[in-house]
Chains A and B, each alone.
Chain A
C-alpha cells in the first residue's frame, strides 16, 4: 500500500484517479457540484504534462474530448445534470464514432437547474437513454473516496477497452464530502492502454472493422493512416453508408460489444448477504446510509443485507436476480422516484416484493428514513 494518504473531497479523489490512469486532456465547463474537478484539474493536469481547457459550454467540452481522443489521448470531462443534458448530442457522437472518453456527472437535484447544491440521483436514466437512438452505455458509480478512485481508473480502462464513452455517476454528497484517500502506487491498479493498429503504412486500414473479439484497433490522427470519422452510419472505412446490412451490423456491434461483456463490466459490493431475508439495494452516497442501517440492525439480530451496485449500466440483471433469490423483501434505496427500482423489478422473480425507500427533496437520505420504510414493510408500523 502507498504512503500517500490524503484527506480530500470525492471530486479531488476523482481527479487523482484520472491522473493515475494516465489522463492527458480535460475540457470542461464549471457547474456545481462538479466544479472542483475542473479546478483541481486546472492545477494538477499541467503538472503532469497534460492539457486543461475551460470551454465555452458543455457542448463544446464533450466535442473537444472527441477531437483530443482521436489524437491518441486519454480524455475526460466533468459536469452535473443540466450540463450533462447539453452533452447528450456529443455523447451520442462518441458512441457512434467509438471514441474512448470518460464523462463525470456529479448529480444534483433536478429537473432543469433544480437544486444545485443538494444531493440527488436523478440522472440514472439520463445516463442510459439521454442519447437518441438505440445504443449501449457504461455507467459506473461509487459511495466512498477509495471506491471513487478505483472506479475512475476502471472507467478509463473500460473506455479504452471497449472504445466507448464511460459515464461516472457520482452525487453531490460523494463529490463534496471529505474523507481519507490512500493513493495506490503505480502498478497496484491495472491501467489499460489503447489498442493500436499494427497495419503498416500504405496498407488499407479499416478503422471500423472489429476484430473477432469485438475490439477495434485505433490509429491516432496525425500518424500514418488517414481515415474518416463521422457521426453518420458508416462502413468499415468510416465512410457514410445507408446500406441496410452495414447499418444493421454497425448498430449490433455498438450494442454487442457491451452486452457481451456485462459480466466483466459489472462491479458491485455485498455486505451480510449470505443469509439476508431483507436485501437493501443501493449505490452512491445513499448506499452509505443503507450500510449504516444494515450494520445497526444486524447487531440486533435482524437478517438484513446490502447489495451495493457500482455498475448501473449495463444493468447487472443476472447478479441482482441471483443475490435476491432468497429475499423476502427487497428495498431499493435511492434519491429519486425509483429509477434503479424499475431495473431491479425487471431483474427479480417477484417484482411485487421490491419496495422503494427514497428522498426526492434535496435532503440526503438518512438511516432513519430507511428504517421507517423497513418497519412499514415488516408490518411493524412507523
Chain B
C-alpha cells in the first residue's frame, strides 16, 4: 500500500510549522506500518495534546485524540479490552513526561503491549515555546527568559528503570533507523518506548539560536552515536542511538487472561 493511503486527506493540510521534525516521524511510522503489512483496522492510535498528538488524526487508523498527558491511560483501556489490537501512542515530551509522567512510568511498569513514540523536541510547541521537562538546564524558553534551571530527564533511562521491556532512541536525521526501530517496537510483546529527537526550529531552535531545521538536524547527526560506539568512549557528551533494551517479560494482557482462567476455574 502506498504511504499516502494511510493518510486521512480530509485532515490536511497539517498544522505543523515549516521545518518541524514531526512530519519526518509520521513518515517513518507509516513506512514501518507498511513494511509490517498491517491492516489499518488492527491499529489504534491514541494521542494526548500537543503538536505531536495531531498525528493520530492524520492517519487512517482507529484514532483517539485525548486529554493532555493521559494518552497512555486511554490506551490501556483499549488494549485491556481488545488485546488483539495494535496500540500506538505518539506523544510529545511535555505530554509524555510532565503531565503524563505518572502514566508513563506505570504503563512501563505494567509492561502492557503498546508502543509509546516520544517525539522529543524539548519544548512546548503548541502553546508557543514554554520549557518542558526535556528542555535542559540553561536553555531559553518563553517561561524561562533568564535561562532554565530545571534539569532534564533521560527518557531512555527513565523508561528502563520504570520497567519498559523495549527502549530505543533515534532522531529525525536517522529516518531509516527510525523506521526500523518503530517496526521492532510495534512487534514487541510488551511496553515499548521509542524516543525520537525531533527539531522545533520555530520555538526551541529560534530561542536558543540553533539555526534552521537543517542545522538542527545536522546537530542530531554530529552529536549522536550508536550505542556502545568508540566515539562515545572518547566523547561522553554524545547522545546514544539504538535499542537500549529488548527483553521478554510477562505481558500484562496475557497475564490477565490467566487471571480470568483462574477466576473461572474457581481458584481464588
Residues of A within 8 A of B (CB): 24-25, 27, 43, 46-47, 49, 51, 53, 55-57, 59-61, 63-73, 75, 89-90, 93, 221-224, 226-232, 237, 239-240
Contact = CB atoms under 8 A, between A and B. Distances in A.
Contacts of B78: 67-68, 70-71, 221
Interface stretch (B36-44, B132-140, B180-188): B36-44
B77 A25 contact: yes
B81 A25 contact: yes
B80 A51 contact: yes
B29 interface: no
B3 to A, nearest CB: 17
Contacts of B263: 43, 46-47
Nearest to A201: B41
A69 B85 CA distance: 14
25 contacts: A25-B80, A46-B259, A51-B260, A55-B76, A60-B76, A63-B76, A63-B77, A64-B74, A67-B46, A67-B73, A67-B75, A67-B81, A68-B77, A90-B67, A93-B66, A221-B78, A221-B85, A226-B41, A226-B62, A227-B62, A228-B8, A231-B65, A232-B65, A237-B10, A239-B11
B120 interface: no
Interface of B: 8, 10-11, 40-42, 44, 46, 56-57, 60-67, 70, 73-82, 84-85, 102-103, 106, 256, 259-260, 262-264, 268
A131 B10 CA distance: 31
A47 B262 CA distance: 8
Contacts of A49: 260, 264
Contacts of A61: 73
Contacts of A240: 57, 65
A59 B70 contact: yes
B57 A71 contact: no
B258 to A, nearest CB: 10
A259 B11 CA distance: 33
Contacts of B77: 25, 27, 63-69, 71, 75
Nearest to B15: A240
A373 B205 CA distance: 69
B54 to A, nearest CB: 9
B67 A51 contact: no
Contacts of A64: 73-74, 76-77, 80
Q: Which secondary structure characterizes the binding site on chain B?
A: helix
Nearest to A46: B263
Nearest to B71: A63
A63 B66 contact: yes
Contacts of B60: 226
Nearest to A230: B65
Contacts of A43: 263, 268
Given A25-B80, A68-B77, A229-B65, 18 more contacts: A27-B80, A60-B106, A64-B77, A67-B76, A70-B64, A72-B81, A90-B70, A93-B66, A221-B62, A221-B64, A222-B82, A226-B62, A228-B65, A229-B63, A231-B65, A231-B66, A239-B10, A240-B57
Of A49, A67, A75, A230, chain B has the most CB atoms within 10 Å of the CB of A67
A61 B80 CA distance: 12
Contacts of A69: 77
A63 B80 CA distance: 13
Contacts of B106: 55-56, 60
Contacts of A222: 41-42, 44, 62, 82, 84-85
Q: Which of A43, A230, A237 has the most CB of B within 10 A?
A: A230
B81 A46 contact: no
Contacts of B61: 226
A381 to B, nearest CB: 55
Nearest to A93: B67
Contacts of B262: 46
Nearest to B70: A63
Contact of B102 (A47, A56, A71, A223): A56
Contacts of A46: 256, 259-260, 262-264
B74 A228 contact: no
Contacts of B64: 66-67, 70, 221, 228-230
A71 B103 CA distance: 21
B81 A51 contact: yes
Given A67-B75, A73-B81, A221-B82, A60 B264 contact: no
Contact of A55 (B63, B66, B67, B73): B73
A61 B73 CA distance: 7
A221 B82 CA distance: 9
A237 B106 CA distance: 33
B50 to A, nearest CB: 13
Contacts of A89: 67
